[in-house]
Every structure is written in C-alpha cells, then in structure tokens.
Amino acid sequence: MISGCGRAVLRSESKMKILTFSMVCFASVIRADDFKTNDGKEYKNVTVSRVEPDGIVLITSVGISKVYFTELPKDVQVRFGYDPQRATAYFGQQAANYAEYQKQQQEAQRQREDATAKNKAVLVQQEAANNRIQALQDRHAALQQEEDALLLRIGEAQQPGPVYWVGKTLKHYPNPQKSQLPFLQSHLKDVRREKNDTKGQLERVQR
C-alpha cells in the first residue's frame, strides 16, 4: 500500500511528465523547418502556424504564406496527413463560405447605396422646401413694401392741392394725384390679396 507521501511523489512525477510532454509538443510545433515545393520554390527557416486540410500555413521572415499540399512532395503530404478527398471537401466549403461572404458584402453595399439614395432624396426635398420658403418670404416682404408704398401714395392723393388765397379766403388747387386714386386703391387690393395668399402658402410649407 502506498503511503500519503508516496502518492504525493507519484503525483509530482506525473505532473512533471505531463509538463515535459507538453513542452516537447510545443517545441515540435514552433520549431523552424525548411520546405521545398515541387517546382523548386524554397521556404527556409519557417514555422508551421497551422495545418489545414488542403495545405499548411507558414510563418516566414516576410510574413505569412500558405502552401498547398498539391505543391509539396509526397513525404510532406504524408507527414501532415494530407487527404485529397478531405481537401476537396474543405476547398468546396471555403468556396461556399467565400461566395456567401461576397453575397453578404453585396447586400450590405446595396443597403448602403439605398440609404445614401434615400438620404440624398431627403436632402433634395429639404433644400427644395427651404428654397420655396425663402422665395415666399422674399415675395411677402416685397408685397409688404409695395403695400406701404401704395398707402403712402394714396394718402398723398387724398390730400388737398396747393393752397392759394382769394381775397381773405384760403382755397386749394385740385390735387393732380387725385385722379390716380381709383387705380391706386384697386392695385392695393390686388397686392393685399396676393400678400394674404403668399402668407397662407408660407404657413402651409412651414408646417
């Protein structure tokens, strides 16, 4: 029967073995290696980052490269467990994933374009509304000025003409502008009518 102290020693030895095995495995993964493709291209002092069904991904001095098993000698294929059928299935899955990715990207691009077009349409509508408001405001201000000018002229036309004396009696010459009163008053009605209409349009546009 193993004592408590003996069991502790066994557990300690087991942990050491596991740690040593892990370190050996880790070292085998990260150790540098050399590869030469079937067409003579060499990859020296590289590290195998990961093994995929259709090839190996290498970390080189200039970056990351993937070398397909079909480019490598038979012994390397066997070493990394290359299976042509599995590689074909993996390649098909990758192609399908890429096609789905492209489809998603195209849909995202379409949505962005639709959003841009809608935003542009809204901006065009807002600009048109602002231009319409500005035009109505300018017209209303012009009509107000015209109304004020007409009221001034009507007031002047309603005044008596220049004065003169006949003996001790003060009289007035006829006002030459009085004949324009009917026209001025008619024009004032038209201006006020248009001003009220413009004001109504402006209120509707600003709602």
Domain boundaries, the chain: 4-104, 122-205
List of residues 6+ apart from 89 with CB closer than 8 A? 53
Contact 87, 121 (CB under 8 A): no
Contact 44, 61 (CB under 8 A): no
Whether pLDDT at 112 is above 70: yes
What would the pLDDT profile of 54-111 be if each residue is shown by its tens digit? 999 999 989 999 999 999 999 999 999 999 999 999 989 999 999 999 999 999 999 9
Higher-pLDDT residue of 164 and 131 is 131
Q: What percent of the chain has pLDDT above 90?
A: 71
Give whichever of 1-5, 12-16, 161-165 has the largest mean pLDDT. Answer: 161-165
pLDDT of residue 31: 63
Which pLDDT band holds residue 10 (cuts at 50, 70, 90)?
A: very low
pLDDT of residue 25: 37
